Amino acid sequence: MDRNQIMEKVDHTLLAQTATWEEIEQICSQAIKYNTASVCIPPSYVKRAADYLNGKIKVCTVIGFPNGYNTTKVKIAETEDALQNGADEIDMVINLGDVKNSQFHKVKDEIKALKQICGDHVLKVIIETCLLTRKEKIKMCQVVSESGADFIKTSTGFSTAGATFEDIRLFKENVAPHVKIKAAGGISSFDDAEKFVELGADRLGTSRLVKILEQG
């Protein structure tokens, strides 16, 4: 797999709390240059980025980020606002407390509510694998598969660890065929990126691959 094929699967990401417009603009320009799948940016920059990109690259943003314990009503409002501002894709964080309380019906209902708002827009569900047991990860594969969401995603990049090869293997074994997989957090080389894709990842959340290309 050549680097161009890998870049087509990348959500070129900048979610730092201190991100400036100049940095977001650079991310957008790099996404165009390297033909990435999308830019993944904070909600407050969606409108400006969408105007700047003018349809050249998809705009992805995050909901309930990074902790996931906002109420469903808040996540719904965030999602509606993001879509109105021009977001093409939504990456939502689940309520991990509901998972730990074994209230999986609540998790599924929330995902369904957001997917209903998203309609044809892509919805990715971040389950924060580093905070879950193997059994919880498998259960979340089932929940996401039954929810109507488009993707299951490993990580926010803001917790104790990011994507692992083992998590992607586990996802591939346990999600329904219609659910795609996004690996995010800690993808630092093209070799790692290729391995994630080979294991079943359809998307990669990272900024480091562009940095490698920029450094020549």
Helices (H) and strands (E) in the chain, counts: 10, 8
Query: Six-digit token pair at 82?
Result: 């993001």
Query: Is residue 38 within 8 Å of 63, Cβ to Cβ?
Result: no
* Among 11, 88, 91, 167, the one annotated catalytic: 91
182 is catalytic: yes
Distance CA 154, CA 162 (A): 7
Report whether 102 contacts 128 (CB < 8 A). no
Which helix (DSSP H) or strand (DSSP E) does residue 58 occupy? strand 58-63
Using alpha carbons, select from 166, 177, 185 the residue that is nearest to residue 126.
185
Annotation says 180 is catalytic: no
Q: Which of 58, 115, 124, 182 is catalytic?
A: 182
Q: What is the DSSP letter of 12?
A: E
Q: Is 185 left (phi over 0), alpha (psi -120 to 50) or beta?
A: left
Q: DSSP letters along 101-131, please?
A: TT-HHHHHHHHHHHHHHHTTSEEEEE--GGG
Catalytic residue among 9, 115, 153, 180: 153
Distance CA 132, CA 96 (A): 8
- Is 98 a catalytic site residue? no
Q: What are phi and psi of 182, to 5 degrees?
A: -120, 125
State the catalytic residues.
91, 153, 182
